[in-house]
Chain A
Amino acid sequence: MRWIALTIALLTAAPLAAQDRTRIVAVNHPLAYFAKRLAGDAAEVVYPVPEGRDPSFWRPGIADIAAIQQADLIVLNGAGFADWVKKASLPRSRIVDTSRGFAGEFIATDTVTHSHGADGAHSHTGTASYTWMDFSLAERQAEALSISLKRMLPEADVDPVLDALRNDLQALHDRATEIAARLEGQTLIASHPRYQYFARAYGLDIRSVSWDAGAAPDPAQIDELTGLVQDTGATIFLWEAAPPEDARTAVTETGLRDVIFPPLAVPGPSGDFVADMNAALDRLAALSG
């Protein structure tokens, strides 16, 4: 009888224990990946953005925000990534802004230009937000996250995992540097402006159009691309996401060689950021001669 009571007690306690597990919310896949590696089994890491949605522009619902407010740690990318973080009350003491330490190195962008009212034509300036595409900055983001995790999860052995993660990111940095050296003098065009930090870190000339990920460009967009190719002499086109086949044909007909090079703000095929980024670098390396 005593064993039965004990078993029942354990079974009913299990959901409570699961609820008590430390919960970490990260605004993009790279940070969720870093958090999972660093925290290990000591925490549940949640990437709250539904599949198929762009985490840069995701607009959470009330229930999403209510759940995020309950998290033990909210991991922000900073640099203006994920606008929603400024649209609700988040508990400051449980936020880590992983790029705060290098805010002076952010890249400014012109985001929108329009004309109306007394101000006339003007643009809303912004900040390039895909900071992790400079893998040395990604390393600094992982370090910033590790400081919060060590404080929050004293039982987790964060330091050795951080060392391994830093080694992986350093290896990505070295590879990107080596591939970029082989692309010196060439202009690349990206399907979306996501590669500012990658271009700056590795000395690449990357121009951008603004095509929807996974959508076929219309004739006007192809005309714009053709003009850009003529103006810049670009040779390589970077797809942010796998394109429809006819879109790929339209791009290669302009004389560009193309490659799928996702910045992995969303999970890639394997879910392993380092592995998927290495695969993307493999594809870029194949075009670098």
Chain B
Amino acid sequence: MRKLLIALAVVAAWPAIAHQLNVFASVDGTDVVVEAKFSSGKVPQVGEVRVYDATDALLVTLPLTGEETLRFPLDPVAAQQGLRIEVNTGEGHEDYWILTPDDIAAGQTN
């Protein structure tokens, strides 16, 4: 009975564990590639991507499209100083990724 209760507790807790938003970004040649997923594996259907430069100036805001990845052209000037990419899917689910100049340079040459 105790094992059953523990099992039920774990199952009940699962949606909570599975609900965190995770963001990863990289550079692929001349594009920035952003991946946003909940830890359940689900791709967020709505939300926005905000791209900031090293001075915290907002460069661009893009809507999430429901696709696994979102690509946008790398700004060559911002590439020199790095980017912070934030994804907000609403209702408290937000995450970010930082691309340093070294990360960007590595992605441009790959």
The answer to whether B97 and A88 have CB atoms under 8 Å apart is yes
Do A119 and B19 touch across chains, with their CB atoms under 8 A apart?
A: yes
Q: A66 interface residue, CB < 8 Å from B?
A: yes
Total contacting residues, chain A, CB less than 8 A: 21
Q: Which of A59, A88, A112, A122 contacts B100 (CB 8 A)?
A: A88
From B13, B16, B102, give the contact of A66 (CB < 8 A).
Answer: B102
Min Cβ gap A93→B in Å is 15
- Residue A123 is within 8 A (CB to CB) of chain B in the complex: yes
Least CB distance, B105 to chain A, in whole angstroms: 11
Residue B20 CB within 8 A of the other chain: yes
A125 to B13, Cβ gap below 8 A?
yes
- The A interface, classified by DSSP as helix, strand, loop or mixed, is mixed
The answer for the CA separation of A252 and B56 in the assembled complex, in Å, is: 43
Beyond A63-B54, A114-B91, whether A87 also contacts B20 by CB under 8 A is no
Among A60, A110, A124, A125, contact of B98 (Cβ-Cβ < 8 Å) = A60
| Most chain A beta-carbon neighbours within 10 Å: one of B13, B100, B101 | B100
* C-alpha gap A62/B54 in the complex (Å): 6
* CB of A89 within 8 Å of the partner chain: yes
B33 → A minimal CB distance (Å): 13
- Cα A87 to Cα B85 in complex, Å, equals 10
- Does B64 lie at the interface of the complex (its beta carbon under 8 Å from any beta carbon of A)? no
11 contacts between A and B (CB under 8 A): A61-B84, A62-B83, A62-B84, A62-B99, A63-B54, A65-B98, A69-B102, A88-B103, A112-B92, A122-B16, A125-B13
Q: Which residues of B contact A (CB under 8 A)?
A: 13, 15-17, 19-20, 23, 54, 56, 81-84, 91-92, 95-103
Residues of A whose CB lies within 8 Å of any CB of B are 59-63, 65-66, 69, 87-89, 110, 112, 114, 116-117, 119, 122-125
| 3 nearest A-B pairs in the assembled complex, by CB-CB distance | A62-B82, A66-B100, A88-B98
